[in-house]
Structure 1
Amino acid sequence: MSLIEEIMEKNKEVATDRYSMSVGELIAMYKDGELLLRPEYQRLFRWTPEQKSRLVESLILGIPVPSIFISQLEDGTWEIIDGLQRMSTILETTGDLLHIDGNKKSPLILTRTKYLPSLEGTSWNHEDSNLQLPNEAKLRIKRSRIDVNIVLSKSDPTSKYELFQRLNTGGTPATDQEVRNAILVMTNPGFFSWISELSTREYFKECIIMSDRALEEQFDLELITRFIVFRNLELDELTNISELGTFLTDKIVSLAEDPSFNKEENEIAFKRTFEPLARVLGDKSFKRYNAVKDTAQGAMLISIFEIIAIGMSYYLGNAENIIHDEKIIEVHKALPAERRFSLSSGQGIRASTRIPNTIGLGREMFKL
């Protein structure tokens, strides 16, 4: 197929339209249920109060803000693809944003901004009239206009996922996992909720001590994504990894869309992997063992997570299979001397090289 033929073919798959709409119109559509911003997305929002206040400042002063991208669903309603944080900030400012529990969030308390320092402490409907946004400011916000780019319903169903991966305009750049989470919510909200619930299990949290930043960037969910994806793949499929982030996204979305995917079996494997790890090794589960000091130390290593957690899990979906505590300790202590581990844990090793090694080694070392 020639380049021109490819262009013409793909152009049929993505149908778009574009409007300029007032903020007031978008708010009205949200309140009427015609503009969807799924409550599950709220875990993905990472804007600070200062970033939110700068957006409000831009709307008041008429400073252009980036477009938002919408997917038009079959029933004609619109779902936000890109611009989640901008639209949620607008709705939080006016007191219209619904929390995950269905109740409205309190209006945003604004902070001092570069051009409008008097915004500090104000809000849309503050009980203190001196701290309530003046009507002129409210009207300026509601009358300000935003370009809305629409992916129409006749587009290929995967178009909105592809667009979401490519679009990350303004604000705090999204991590791969944050983008992945949003795509999962679009694909199967129940699947995303399931993964999120797994991340709250105490036995899992006891094994992965992470910084506030890592938790903020959803790295706990990335570990669970790796766990689910890699334990369900055959080794020969792991040689096709060119870019790990895209590979993980494609595979987890594929599992979320698969009606035959066995969540129960994977949840059993998750529990039977992390419960004994928490009991036997705790927060040393994925740290390198030091034979001289007879303890594990240093930072958590993703290569050890792939070998131990995913290696164990491959066998533990079957309730008849047992991996004894002594075996876990034996493997953990033996890893530093394993040549394949050393080749997989250094700097600059490509995922396509490391992951087949680590996953294969884990399955080999825990083989029943």
Structure 2
Amino acid sequence: MSLNEEVNERRKEIRTDGYAISIGEWLSLYENNEIDIHPEFQRIYRWSESQKTNLIESILLGIPVPPIFVSQRSDGIWDVVDGLQRLSTIYQFMGQLKDENNKPIPPLVLSGTKYLPSLEGKKWEGSADLGDEDPNSIGQNMRLTIKRSKLNVSIILKESDETAKYDLFQRLNTGGSSLSAQEVRNCILVMLNKDFYFWLAELSKFDKFLECIALSDRAISESYDIELVLRFIIFSLIDIKELDSMGDVGIFISEKMRVICTDKNFDSQYWGDLFRKTFTKLADNTADNSFKRYNLAKNKYSGGFLVSQYEAVTYGLAYNISEGTDNDNIDERISGLWSNQEFTNWSGSGITATRRLPHLIPLGREVFKK
């Protein structure tokens, strides 16, 4: 197929539309449940109060705001693909934003900016008693200015290929984004299968798992703990042949995630049990040393979390637990990795996961076998 034919074929898969909508109309869509902004994302995104104020300032000053991307579902409701934080900020400032339990979120109070220092302490409306006479209210004039301001919307119509919105979301939220790779995956998961996302998140809070990984607060805030759970699901029982054509690991994880979370035959009970058995065994033997470097000269563990050791240990142990061939000498097996040349050759810094995994996964399966 020629490039021209490929382009024409793909263009048929994505049908779009676009126009400008007033903020008043955006609010009406939200109040009538005609738009899904995925309130679950609020715990994933990290806009600061100053970023929120800057958006309101831009609207007041007439500074163009990037368009909102939505996908039209079969029931006609719009799924927000990109622009959730912008819409959430506006709804919060107007006192209408609700969380995933449909409970009101406290209205946004603005802070002063370089161009509008008088925004400090301003709210959409003042107290019920004082109304617009409340010095903290932005007043009716400003409220109408905001309501009449328009935001452009780009719509992926329901006739489009089902995966188009997830591809678009990933492209818009990677590369220069404040979101980590797993945070982007989390958002896609919520759109694809909300229950699967919550299941992963629940596993990531398993006390034995947390005891073993000993991650920094920053890593956890960026959902690296959830990524480690997802990696466990993808790589523990993977067919080794798949690793030869894996390509970029980040893309591989995202694509595998899509397949798994939409698979009606996925056995979450089985995988949950295997996950808990694996980390209970590790916690009972090596605890927070499970993924730390073993210093042969000093005969002790030291340093922080090593993903290469996580790959060899966790996937290897889980595989053998599933096969009924796991070994009880966990501490000895883990510390012994550091005298294994295959492991030290492929676990060093600068070796990408794409090159590393085809060596470490088979090695881990062999090391933890009876």
* 1:346 aligned partner: 348
> Are the counterparts in 2 of residues 265 and 317 from structure 1 also a CA contact under 8 Å?
no
Q: Residues 7 and 60 of structure 1: is their aligned pair in 2 closer, same or farther, counting only changes over 3 Å?
A: same
Residue 5 of structure 1 corresponds to which residue in structure 2? 5
> Partner letter of residue 336 of structure 1?
W
Residues of 2 paired with 1:305 and 1:88: CA distance?
37
Output the amino acid matched with 1:111. Answer: S
Identity across matched positions, percent: 44
CA deviation map 1:91-136 (0-9, x unaligned):
2222222112220111122222221122222222454833233222
- Is residue 268–residue 317 contact of structure 1 (8 Å, CA) maintained in 2? no
Q: Does residue 146 in structure 1 map to residue 151 in structure 2? A: yes
- Alignment of 1:132 onto 2:131: no
Equivalent residue, structure 1, for 2:369: 367
Amino acid at match of 2:220: L
Whole-angstrom CA distance in 1 between matches of 2:267 and 2:365: 20
Contact 1:184/1:256 (<8 A) preserved = yes
1:234 and 1:280 mapped to 2: Cα distance? 28
Q: What is the correspondence of 1:51-90 to structure 2 with a 5 Å cutoff?
A: 51-90=51-90
1:313 aligns with 2:318: yes
Shift of 1:264: 0.7
Report the Cα distance in structure 2 between the residues aligned to 1:136 and 1:213, rounded to whole angstroms: 42
Q: 1:172 to 1:247 in 2, by over 3 A?
A: closer
Distance 1:122 1:280, change over 3 A: farther
Label 1:358 to 1:34 Cα distance change in 2 as closer, same or farther (>3 A): same
Say if 1:283 and 1:139 are closer, same or farther in 2 by CA, change over 3 A.
Answer: farther
| 1:336 is aligned to 2:334 | no
Q: 1:234, CA displacement in angstroms?
A: 0.7
**Deviates further, 127-136 or 291-300:** 127-136
**For 2:92 and 2:19, how far apart are their aligned partners in 1?**
23
Asked if structure 2 preserves the Cα contact closer than 8 Å seen for 1:241 and 1:351, the reply is: no
Are residues 169 and 207 of structure 1, via their aligned partners in 2, closer, same or farther at CA, if it must alter by over 3 Å?
closer
Match of 2:203 in 1: 198
> 1:100 and 1:76 mapped to 2: Cα distance?
21
Give the CA deviation at 1:322: 5.2
TM-score by length of 1: 0.94
| Cα pair distance change 1:9/1:172, threshold 3 Å | closer
Residue 268 of structure 1 contacts residue 316 of structure 1 at CA under 8 Å; is this kept in 2? no
- Quick one: distance in 1 between partners of 2:232 and 2:273? 13
CA RMSD of aligned residues (A): 1.9
Rounded Cα–Cα distance in structure 1 between residues aligned with 2:173 and 2:87? 14
- Equivalent AA in structure 2 for residue 194 of structure 1: W
How far the C-alpha of 1:43 sits from its partner, in A, is 2.0
SS in 1 for 2:19: strand
Of 275, 284, 302, the residue aligned with 2:280 is: 275
Gaps of 5+ in 1: none
Matched, 1:48 2:53: no
Displacement of 1:170 in angstroms is 11
CA-CA distance at 1:332 after TM superposition: 1.2
State the alpha-carbon separation in 2 of the partners of residues 232 and 147 from structure 1: 46
Retained in 2: the 8 A contact 1:56–1:90? yes
Residues 71 and 160 of structure 1 are in contact (CA less than 8 Å); yes or no, is this contact kept in structure 2? yes
Match of 1:304 in 2: 309
**1:310 CA drift (Å):** 1.7
User: Shift of residue 286 of structure 1?
Assistant: 0.6
**Equivalent residue number for residue 174 of structure 1:** 179
Structure 1 residues 123 and 285, CA, compared in 2 at 3 Å: closer, same or farther?
farther
Cα distance change of structure 1 residues 92 and 171 upon mapping to structure 2, 3 Å threshold: farther
SS in 1 for 2:80: strand
Q: 1-side partners of 2:253 and 2:8: how far apart?
A: 29
1:91 equivalent to 2:116? Answer no
Structure 2 residue ranges without an equivalent (≥5) = none
